[in-house]
Chain A
């Protein structure tokens, strides 16, 4: 009896002392935590952006990119499984992976039991929250990419022995994700120029857009329609007017009524430059906003300018793609901010504008019979020499004088 008790105590000691040693034999280590590689669906490596380069943005997610993770494992046996779990909290506790309290999900199936391996996990599977212990593939659903504020998703690599147990060994890597773009830029105004459009807008921060690294301008060369507006304008004898008659618009006087102080009130049908619609730009604007959902952006072929930095408030558009703007043709213009994660924000309501020939002092002077301007474009090399000749003569003269003076010393 005593012997049996002794054997029981010894065996228990062996279990208590030996079990952790056996458990600690399984290890898992993620070896590229600081240099995670993103891959395109075609397998090409994505070059990280200069700022927030490691983070996943909306375009990365829509592009269906994958994140390649390298790991080292050891001490495993055939009864154990190496699983990957994703979540925004600690996934090690059982309740985080099971039942009604589940907060973690599986973005990828079991990993092969090998000492050195790599796995490519789709971004969409990482950000798509779900329940259950099976892997659900979300790679075919781009809607999962929408509206994610700056978040950290952790990927847990865990050794398990049996279902519903605590992991034997774990390692984790964090992935930053931000797919929510900045809000709409306010204060857009457009002005016609000579085969160009001058776009001005509120500076970053004025409309609540604080994280803005560039501003993108979209142009539609075929706006749906300009919106005619009827307005009452007051025209006074001193030529000042309370109306806002516009250059681009056809302004037709419809009726005139005398009023006080020598002014005449009249109804005008105007087509202001600021009101029009564009199917390709307005469609995007309709879903835009800070509500969380990322809007469908206009196609890149409508992008007509992009200006870097957050300090600017003016950009000149002269081309859409390779096509120069044409005078006396209407264009719809809309703008969107781009944040430091490369997310394009909500596209504001489009405005219409029609470029046209503008007055120029030089042309006015020449048209008036002015004869100056010897630097002909056609004779560029000769004219350039002629133009710099006086300066050159002056410099040579000074140098020669200095040389002579130096020689006399």
Chain B
């Protein structure tokens, strides 16, 4: 968890710097405000450290996820599109959004016969096989998004806080080198794939990059229709713990994300 925390500090630094900068540049941007194109959509490219909550399943013995894939979070790459359907004056935009993401974790599998007779003084790595065991997770969600951009549009403070809330759905698949994992149970073999429902909550803040170079921002808007560009930091809870399901693999996570956002 050390490296993600460091990354968070590095990514938050621009926000702090931005807040401490003098406001003399603001009037220059203000002059170009009237030339802005209509704004209806926000697109996000998101990156986040991701470690699913699989081991938190009630009744589970041991920590199958941690014992297989360790504690290192994996990279979740995601995209989100928000329709900014309504604008509430002096508050911000409101609208629905959808997001999809993907992550994968893969580790060397161990030879069972070796593990069984492994001496205490020997590292487990001596039992590594040529096989790999892996888990793929496709995350998706539908959320309502409120972006409080009045701070930026009305008061020239280049920070746009936002919140998101909605439902999530994760698809997952466990595999080995030989293909889809299949567990043999008393009631027959069970494939290692499925889906998990849950909720999705998020809160974050975006730094308006237009503020750094207002003229380029206006040019970008006039040429390709990008109203505003942001770098953002978000804390989110993907509670994919089986909402309405009796048994589910908990493939959600509570973590943070950083990325770029564009309003069109």
Knowing A375-B191, A377-B189, the reply to whether A365 touches B249 (Cβ < 8 A) is: yes
Task: Verify A358–B129 contact, CB threshold 8 A.
Answer: yes
Task: Verify A358–B109 contact, CB threshold 8 A.
Answer: yes
Which of A196, A248, A356, A361 lies in contact with B135, CB distance below 8 A? A361
> A6 near B: Cβ within 8 Å?
no
Q: How many residues of B contact A (CB 8 A)?
A: 57
Knowing A357-B111, A361-B68, the reply to whether A247 touches B169 (Cβ < 8 A) is: no
Task: Verify B249–A361 contact, CB threshold 8 A.
Answer: no
> B194 near A: Cβ within 8 Å?
yes
Task: Verify B131–A194 contact, CB threshold 8 A.
Answer: yes
Task: Verify B185–A366 contact, CB threshold 8 A.
Answer: yes
Interfacial chain B residues near A111, Cβ < 8 Å: none
Interface centre among A357, A373, A374 (most CB of B within 10 A): A373
Roughly how many angstroms separate A196 CA and B179 CA in the complex, as a whole number? Answer: 12
Closest Cβ neighbor of B63 among chain A residues:
A368
Interface flags for B50-64 (1: CB within 8 Å of A; 0: not) read 000010010111101
> A8 near B: Cβ within 8 Å?
no
> A191 near B: Cβ within 8 Å?
yes
Interfacial chain A residues near B249, Cβ < 8 Å: 365, 370, 372-373
Roughly how many angstroms separate A369 CA and B123 CA in the complex, as a whole number? Answer: 27
> A260 near B: Cβ within 8 Å?
no
Nearest Cβ on chain B to A45's Cβ, whole angstroms = 41
Which of B68, B242, B247 lies in contact with A364, CB distance below 8 A? B68
Interface flags for A199-241 (1: CB within 8 Å of B; 0: not) read 0000000000000000000000000000000000001000111
Task: Verify B185–A358 contact, CB threshold 8 A.
Answer: no
Interface flags for A363-389 (1: CB within 8 Å of B; 0: not) read 111111111111111100001000100
> B195 near A: Cβ within 8 Å?
yes
Closest Cβ neighbor of B192 among chain A residues:
A362
> B26 near A: Cβ within 8 Å?
no
Task: Verify A362–B121 contact, CB threshold 8 A.
Answer: no
Task: Verify A316–B177 contact, CB threshold 8 A.
Answer: yes
Task: Verify A247–B131 contact, CB threshold 8 A.
Answer: no
> A78 near B: Cβ within 8 Å?
no
Roughly how many angstroms separate A377 CA and B183 CA in the complex, as a whole number? Answer: 10
Q: How many residues of A contact B (CB 8 A)?
A: 47
Task: Verify A372–B60 contact, CB threshold 8 A.
Answer: no
> A359 near B: Cβ within 8 Å?
yes
Task: Verify B64–A365 contact, CB threshold 8 A.
Answer: yes
Task: Verify A356–B113 contact, CB threshold 8 A.
Answer: yes
Nearest Cβ on chain B to A245's Cβ, whole angstroms = 5
Task: Verify B123–A240 contact, CB threshold 8 A.
Answer: yes
Interfacial chain B residues near A359, Cβ < 8 Å: 68, 109-110, 112, 115, 133
> B87 near A: Cβ within 8 Å?
no
Task: Verify B193–A358 contact, CB threshold 8 A.
Answer: no
Interfacial chain B residues near A387, Cβ < 8 Å: 193-195
> B5 near A: Cβ within 8 Å?
no
> A135 near B: Cβ within 8 Å?
no
Nearest Cβ on chain A to B20's Cβ, whole angstroms = 44
Roughly how many angstroms separate A247 CA and B109 CA in the complex, as a whole number? Answer: 12
> B178 near A: Cβ within 8 Å?
yes
Knowing A235-B121, A372-B247, the reply to whether A247 touches B114 (Cβ < 8 A) is: yes
- Besides A196-B131, A377-B182, 14 other A-B contacts (C-beta < 8 A): A192-B130, A245-B122, A359-B110, A361-B68, A363-B183, A365-B174, A365-B249, A366-B190, A368-B64, A373-B192, A375-B190, A376-B191, A377-B188, A383-B191
11 A–B contacts from the bound complex (CB under 8 Å): A247-B128, A318-B178, A328-B113, A357-B112, A361-B69, A362-B174, A362-B182, A371-B246, A372-B249, A375-B191, A378-B188
State the 7 A-B residue pairs at the shortest beta-carbon distance, nearest first: A191-B130, A198-B130, A371-B247, A362-B181, A247-B114, A362-B192, A372-B249
